[in-house]
Every structure is written in C-alpha cells, then in structure tokens.
Amino acid sequence: MSFEPQHIRAETTHARRGSIRHAFTHAVDYVLIDPEAGTGPTLFRRNRPGLSAVHDRHHGGAPKKGRGRAWAVEVFGAAGLEDAQILLLTQPAILGRVFNPVSFWLAMRGGDLIAVIAEVTNTFGDRHSYLCHLPGFAPITPEDEISARKLLHVSPFQDVAGRYRFRFRIEPDSIAIRIAHEDGEEGVIATLTGPREPLTNAAILRMSIARPFGAARTWMLIHWHALRLKLKGAAFRPRPEPPKQEVSRCSS
C-alpha cells in the first residue's frame, strides 16, 4: 500500500502529579512515514544527510545502532503479528541533529491500528521499548487503555516504579496519544496531539525556521524543566542501570 510521508504539527503536554506539580505545553514536529518507501519532498531524506531526515540507525534497537523497520518486523513477528503495514511516527533530524524522547512504530491493518511499539529514549542514551496490543491484535480504539510496567529511567525526579497507561487515537486526519505514568500519588501525564498533513518542502522550511535547533531544542527544554523542578524542591534520583531486556509487553 502506497503511503506518502506526513507532517504532524503537534503539541506535547506534560503535567506532573503528586507533591510537586509542574506542567508545560510545547509545539513539536513529527513525521509519519512508511520506512520502506523512498518517496518524499526534496528537502526530506531517508538515511542520507539533509535539511530534514529520518535514519534507520536512530530507530529499532540501541540508539545509533538501530536496524529500522527490520527490527520492528521482528518484534511484531515474535509477538505473533505478521502482514501488517508498519509506519514510524518520530521527530525528524534537522541538519543532522536528532533526539526523540519517544517514537512510535504503528502496525496498521485495513486502516485500523492493531499494535504499537513505543520506543522510549532517555537523555543518558538508554532505550527501552513497550509493545502495546490487545488480545488477538484486535483494533485499538481511543477507548482502549493498554498498561505496562515502567522499566526505564526517564526523569531524575521520578522513580522507576509504577505503570504506564497508553491510549491511542490514530484517525485519518489527526493523531492523539496519551501516556499516563502512575506511581501511587506521583506520576506524569503526557500527550501528543496534532493534525496529519502532507509533508511538503514548505512544511519542512516552516519547521526549520520556527524550531531551527530541532533536537537540540528538545534537549534544552528537557534540561530547562529539570532545573525548574529542582528549584521547586524535587528530589534527585541517580540513574539506575537500564533494563537488560530490549522490549517488554503491555497488557490491556
């Protein structure tokens, strides 16, 4: 099935629960691509340098050592899912710089979302992926909630404890993803929402001008909010060893 790259001009929100509250909303640019397709606007590149690019080495496996779609096919296949269309929702590299706190491998069948790999990466260079699906790979609706035990250290101000609760709304014209981390009274609710539009040279130029530092901007914002949390009195947790397993399964 032919799939042309799309631009998600999105907003991401984070709201911290518990004893120390903190919230923010930022604009962010994602692309939704078929990793097998080589088509796209002139200013978008696959596995080549360019103003905007997505490289397989950044996805599917350890950061900078990824295997791209082949890895996602193996993960889905090991869970019993085959013959699905696989799309990648991620922030593109801008002028070679990239950092994705979370990307999503979407498995689609007949227009329905049937499985997701949430690929989570922290600022220490650790990565863990959460495989989300319903029994029998039934279509995932916006009302479905899929749960996973938190295994990766993401924030130095939160424990590696509790659970994630994922919700996905993948519509023909928009995307909305909600991830709630719950750890007793503590936790964070994060969302990613935005319209699906064709990825064009004009869109790439706009995102490059509006957010010219791309991944560096994301990195700086993460550390800026970490500083604000520290000033609010949040307790610092040292980085624990990352999980040995690369992928963990979620449950509905």
Question: In this predicted model, what pLDDT tens digit does every residue of 111-162 receive, in sequence order?
Answer: 999 999 999 999 899 999 999 999 999 999 999 999 999 999 998 888 899 9
Whether the Cβ atoms of residue 209 and residue 27 lie closer than 8 Å to each other:
no
pLDDT for 102 equals: 96
Mean pLDDT of the chain: 92
220 CA to centre of own chain: 18
End-to-end alpha-carbon separation of the chain, Å?
Answer: 29
Tokens of 2: 């032919």
pTM given for the model: 0.94
Q: Which residues of 126-138 are buried (b: 16+ CB within 10 A; e: fewer)?
A: bbbbbbbbbeebe
What's the rounded Cα separation, in Å, for the pair 233 and 252? 35
Average pLDDT over residues 73-91: 96
How big is the chain by its Cα radius of gyration, in Å? Answer: 17
Phi first, then psi: what are they for 218, rounded to 5°? -60, -45
Whether the Cβ atoms of residue 196 and residue 32 lie closer than 8 Å to each other:
yes
pLDDT for 174 equals: 98
